[in-house]
Amino acid sequence: MVSLLAPIEVGSANQLLFDDELVAESEGFVLETTPGVKDGVVLEPERPWEARGIWAWGSVIQEAGVIRLWYDAVGEDDVWRLCYAVSTDGLRFVRPELGLYEYAGGRDNNICFVAPKGYHAGTVFHAPAGGPEERYKLVYGGGGPIGDTPYLHISGAVSPDGLHWRHAANRITPWYTDTMNVAFWDPVVARYRLYVRYWTGALRYEDDRLLGRDDYGLRGIGYTESADFLDFPRPRLILGPDDRDPSDMDLYNSAARLYPLADRAYMMFISAFYHDPDFLDVQLATSRDGVTWRREAREPVVTLGHAGSFDAQQIYMFAGQAVVGDEVWMYYGGYDMPHGASYPGQVTARVGRVRWLRDRFAGWAVDMGGGELITKPLAFEGGRLTLNCDASAGGVVRVGLESPDGTPIEGFGVEDCKSLYGNHLAAVVTWKGDDLEPLAQRPVRLRIQARAAKIYSFRFGV
């Protein structure tokens, strides 16, 4: 089949196969998600200012060889506080005595921000824009009821170090919140991206002022972006339940993030809320531009723990990731209690860690019967190709290069490829032809033939 598509510029950047964006044809392959490996509890309530619980939301930033963790805690006074912990190994977290806020007559605590009563403490991220005094940003629920809706609007704060915070704006967008809204700075577009709770029910506005809501509808994910952290346009719905979902399921927190190890790769780790039985686990949504999102495979990527474990009934992902060696670490809040019972003072979350090998959140899988996957035409740089793939002991992978019309390139056809066996994060593909560099001047397609294997990503380069 002759391809009329313009080649996709992949250069020498890592390319995830977590959707069908780069795939032209496939036979025998299916797109599958990969559940993360959980490591159990890494943080649980044990201090007086956590007396009514650690809440299920938080943020993670990896800096200078440490994992920095911000989490919400609720004291006996029912006030939400943003607390801080740090770890060098990602498992044992220390609560430093910051001395910034008083609690019960003392300042020997790890409290770094106190939101007024009724507010949620929020999501922390690092952003180089705005100068040294504003390198860290915080979005959190603030204000009061808007019209006849009880939800709070979204406020912003800034900090030079993630610990000393200054309230910056009472309302950064004409919207409301009752959950962990997520923001991050995207260097690709040099803008702030903000992902919010979005009820699909009818909303009533006067200009940009939200007056109320005529019905709840279902939970979904809303989105807005801005070059100015203190002024976002009104969000719009970008992802919600569809006809592939149960009628009583909706989409809770997003934990949206730009994946740092690949080109054009955005991910959400959405808490999928099943109203019957009132449980939540985590699904993956993917995007190439941060705006258009897809939920290809609906299987959970973070599954509930076994009955009686701390995360047996609800899981909510923290915003942010840490890359350590060949692994990507994320953190989450887990409950052994249904959603309707999980309020401060009734039950408290504990924080767990979950890990993936790099790039392996989703991939194209084929069984022992074998199959073939052909990419769209690609324009690349460099003289070699590496593949992140797992064929274990019984599988095999071979790759051919061909022209956009399907003609094999001499010396680089599937039959010229040395078979790949085993499990590789960066297997170098070799052929009878020994140098890819001359082919970088022309568009090529990858023809992948495999059995009992899963393909996660590929990369051209030197």
Mean pLDDT confidence for 12-20? 97
Task: Count other C-beta atoms under 10 Å from residue 312's C-beta.
Answer: 16
What's the chain look like in SS3? CCCCCCCEEEECCCEECCCCCCEEEEECEEEEECCCEEEEEEECCCCHHHCCCEEEEEEEEEECCEEEEEEEEECCCCCEEEEEEEECCCCCCECCCCCCCCECCECCCCEEEECCCCCCCCEEEECCCCCHHHCEEEEEEECCCECCECCEEEEEEEECCCCCCEEEEEEEEEEEECCCCEEEEECCCCEEEEEEEEECCCEEEECCEEEEECCCCCEEEEEEEECCCCCCCCCEEEECCCCCCCCCEEECCCCCEECCCCCCCEEEEEEEEECCCCEEEEEEEEECCCCCEECCCCCCCECCCCCCCCCCCEEEECECCEEECCEEEEEEEEECCCHHHCCCCCCCEEEEEEEEECCCCEEEEECCCCEEEEECCEEECCCEEEEEEECCCCCEEEEEEECCCCCECCCCCHHHCCCECCEEEEEEECCCCCCCHHHHHCCEEEEEEEECEEEEEEEEEC
Residue 143 has pLDDT above 60, yes or no: no
How far separated are the first and last CA of the chain, in Å rounded? 31
Task: Count other C-beta atoms under 10 Å from residue 167's C-beta.
Answer: 15
- In this predicted model, what pLDDT tens digit does every residue of 425-444 receive, in sequence order? 999 999 987 789 889 889 99
Domains of the chain, first to last: 8-34+363-461 (2.60.120.260), 37-358 (2.115.10.20)
User: Tokens representing 407?
Assistant: 């003609």
- In this predicted model, what pLDDT tens digit does every residue of 274-321 receive, in sequence order? 999 999 999 999 999 999 999 988 999 999 999 999 999 999 999 999
Find the farthest-apart pair of alpha carbons in the chain and give their distance in angstroms, rounded. 78
Strand 378-380 to 8-11 pairing: parallel
Mean pLDDT estimate for the chain: 91
pLDDT reported for residue 384:
94
Q: How confident is the model at residue 148 (pLDDT cuts 50, 70, 90)?
A: low
Distance of alpha carbon 363 from alpha carbon 297, whole angstroms: 10
pLDDT reported for residue 147:
56
323-350 b/e (C-beta count within 10 Å ≥ 16 → b)? eeeeebbbbbbbbbbebeebebeeebbb
Phi/psi of residue 309, nearest 5 degrees: -80, 165
Q: How far is CA 52 from CA 72, 78, 122, 167, 344, in A?
A: 11, 7, 17, 25, 5
Q: Mean pLDDT: which of 117-131, 165-179, 356-370 is highest?
A: 356-370
pLDDT reported for residue 231:
95
119: Cα within 13 Å, side-chain hemisphere: 22
- Residue in 432, 369, 440 with CA at minimum distance from that of residue 399: 432
Residue 142 has pLDDT above 90, yes or no: no
Mean pLDDT confidence for 150-156? 76
pLDDT reported for residue 224:
97
Comparison of pLDDT for 430 and 345, the residue scoring more: 430
pLDDT reported for residue 153:
78
Mean pLDDT confidence for 138-158? 73
Mean pLDDT confidence for 21-46? 97
Residue 207 has pLDDT above 80, yes or no: no
pLDDT reported for residue 216:
63
- In this predicted model, what pLDDT tens digit does every residue of 363-381 receive, in sequence order? 999 999 999 999 999 999 9
Q: How confident is the model at residue 146 (pLDDT cuts 50, 70, 90)?
A: low
pLDDT reported for residue 346:
62
Comparison of pLDDT for 175 and 109, the residue scoring more: 109
Report DSSP state, residue 243. T
Mean pLDDT confidence for 210-220? 70
Residue 66 has pLDDT above 70, yes or no: yes
- Residue in 237, 311, 319 with CA at minimum distance from that of residue 280: 311
Q: Which of 1-15, 138-152, 325-339 has the lowest mean pLDDT?
A: 138-152
- In this predicted model, what pLDDT tens digit does every residue of 230-277 receive, in sequence order? 999 999 999 999 999 998 899 999 999 999 999 999 999 999 999 999
DSSP for 246-279, please give it.
-TTEEE-----EE-TTSSS-EEEEEEEEETTTTE
pLDDT reported for residue 117:
64
Comparison of pLDDT for 179 and 330, the residue scoring more: 330
Distance of alpha carbon 110 from alpha carbon 100, whole angstroms: 8
pLDDT reported for residue 210:
62
pLDDT reported for residue 130:
79
Mean pLDDT confidence for 152-157? 85
pLDDT reported for residue 192:
97
CB within 8 Å of 437: residues ≥ 6 apart: 382, 383
Distance of alpha carbon 54 from alpha carbon 351, whole angstroms: 8
pLDDT reported for residue 446:
98
